[in-house]
Structure 1
């Protein structure tokens, strides 16, 4: 298997009232911290064929904080929503990749051990969609086999990967990842997460 990974980090973060990707968490911009947490500061990338980060709004301010082990791609249609950004990301996946791991920049509680769990399930069931489960929903992080790439590339607006997960629910392996419930959409979310992490 050759697994590509991408992180969606292109949103404008209107509800956050600021550049969410650069919000300070323990002295690091959120995007950098999330990447370092997910990859063990890049060590996970030895198990992946590539790790792309999809930028959009405020890309010129965000790109300087990206670590050396990822590749940035600028989505000009970021304003159309997460679906369009994900579709763009899939268009840029290595053609030899057999699977795609989709992650989010604001899932601040996830770490390398969670990604290794996802990859282990993918190895055990390579033809299945491997989806995190939290708060009774299925969503990111999620691993798609290549046979779903064409559908992912048709996504538009704010219709993200969850739509395709639901369309193929019988082909989904659910992985219990309660820490995936923490995503930062507002300043209050950030304050609440900081308090819970203390």
Structure 2
């Protein structure tokens, strides 16, 4: 059986409006920009390549973040919400993609082990899987390529893949002990994660 091709699809377009307009991709975590951290998590977790969708301060992100061979895609409509970034990212995936592992740039607690568990759970199926924490579905999410057309048709605003995930069976992969899905929305969140 051929090796599955599951690239990471990193959503990194947000402008950080609740953080004083600081683009989340450029926030520093562990001594490097948050986008670099998330790309390393995807690589170390076993994703086959990555596509990152940029929006706010895209030119600055390109200049200041070491993204390696990650394909960078600009989303000029990033202010309309996550759905437009999903569309831009899906359009940039390689044609032979079997599934996409969707990661958010503002979830620093997601680990390579969580990514590995999600990829292992997918293991040849073309469906949907998501990390779960104390029984609650959260990020990251893995979306099989057979679902891409429906995702493109149903994703709106900031809901992203919510409609798709609500109307199909989703394999939940327990990551409670190895990761955290908490995102960065407030200055208190930055302080808790020691992000500058």
TM-score where L is the length of structure 1: 0.86
Q: Does 1:141 pair with 2:135?
A: no
- Deviation of the 1:180 alpha carbon: 3.2
Q: Does 1:14 pair with 2:12?
A: no
Whole-angstrom distance in 1 between the partners of 2:118 and 2:110: 12
Alignment deviations for residues 7-37 of structure 1 (CA, whole Å, 9 cap, x no partner): 0001111111122221222321121122223
Whole-angstrom distance in 1 between the partners of 2:157 and 2:97: 25
Give the match for residue 122 of structure 1.
Answer: 122
Give the match for residue 57 of structure 1.
Answer: 56
Alignment deviations for residues 34-80 of structure 1 (CA, whole Å, 9 cap, x no partner): 2223323xx835xx1x3100001110111120321311000111111
| Residues 87 and 156 in structure 1, CA contact (< 8 A), matched pair in contact too | no
| Residues 132 and 142 in structure 1, CA contact (< 8 A), matched pair in contact too | yes
Spell out structure 1 runs of 4+ moving beyond 4 A.
none
| Pairwise CA RMSD | 1.9
Listed as ranges, the gaps of 5+ residues in structure 1 are none
Give the match for residue 177 of structure 1.
Answer: 175
- Larger helix proportion, structure 1 or 2? 1
Listed as ranges, the gaps of 5+ residues in structure 2 are none
Pick one of 38, 52, 59 that aligns with 1:34.
Answer: 38
| Residues 182 and 193 in structure 1, CA contact (< 8 A), matched pair in contact too | no
- Deviation of the 1:136 alpha carbon: 4.7
Whole-angstrom distance in 1 between the partners of 2:121 and 2:135: 19
Q: How many residues are matched? A: 187
Q: Per the alignment, in what secondary structure is the counterpart of residue 157 of structure 1?
A: coil
Whole-angstrom distance in 1 between the partners of 2:55 and 2:42: 21
Give the match for residue 80 of structure 1.
Answer: 80
